[in-house]
């Protein structure tokens, strides 16, 4: 059932109903007992939709952030594979709440310097990097 719910979640990405539907689907996943083990699958959904808005923070991020700081290495892996607008934003949130910022800043800098990603993602990463370096 978990796989079916994740598939259903991805089908709503980019639609006007995503925010509402994602809340319901994430709640069903929790009721099924889904936990840390689905975080990589949630990041994969974001990676396949790098420019989509998943909410601020949205149901998926609230679910993932429940596992802070354990999810951070998975976030870093996701950003190394395919930076997205949302994962760059999540990384910035992690930097704000982290005492050991150097590794996270390095990942953010890599995204800001990545010429293979969409210019909007690169610009977002650079904006967050500028903020972090000047705050």
C-alpha span between 129 and 8 (Å, rounded): 34
Per-residue pLDDT band for 99 (boundaries 50, 70, 90) equals confident
Nearest 10 degrees: Cα torsion 81, 85, 89, 94: -10
**What is the per-residue pLDDT for 100?**
78
Over residues 60-94, the pLDDT tens digits come to 999 999 999 999 999 999 999 999 999 999 999 99
C-alpha span between 17 and 15 (Å, rounded): 5
CA distances from 50 to 45, 69, 85, 88, 95 (A): 9, 23, 6, 10, 20
pLDDT at 97 over 90: no
C-alpha span between 11 and 57 (Å, rounded): 19
C-alpha span between 103 and 79 (Å, rounded): 12
Q: Where are the domains of the chain?
A: 2-134
Helix/strand number for the chain, H first, E second: 8, 0
Over residues 119-135, the pLDDT tens digits come to 999 999 999 999 999 97
Over residues 32-59, the pLDDT tens digits come to 999 999 999 999 999 999 999 999 899 9
Which residue do the tokens 């979640």 mark? 9
């Amino acid at each position: 059932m978990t796989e079916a719910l994740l598939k259903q979640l991805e089908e709503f990405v980019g639609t006007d109903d995503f925010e509402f539907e994602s809340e319901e689907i994430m709640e069903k996943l929790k009721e099924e007992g889904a936990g840390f083990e689905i975080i990589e699958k949630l990041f994969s959904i974001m990676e396949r939709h790098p420019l989509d808005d998943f909410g601020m923070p949205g149901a998926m991020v609230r679910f993932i952030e429940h596992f802070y700081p354990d999810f951070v290495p998975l976030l870093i892996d996701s950003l190394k594979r395919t930076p997205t607008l949302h994962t760059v934003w999540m990384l910035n949130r992690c930097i704000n709440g982290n005492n050991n910022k150097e590794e996270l800043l390095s990942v953010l800098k890599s995204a800001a310097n990545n010429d293979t990603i969409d210019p909007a993602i690169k610009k977002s990463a650079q904006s967050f990097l500028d903020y972090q370096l000047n705050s």
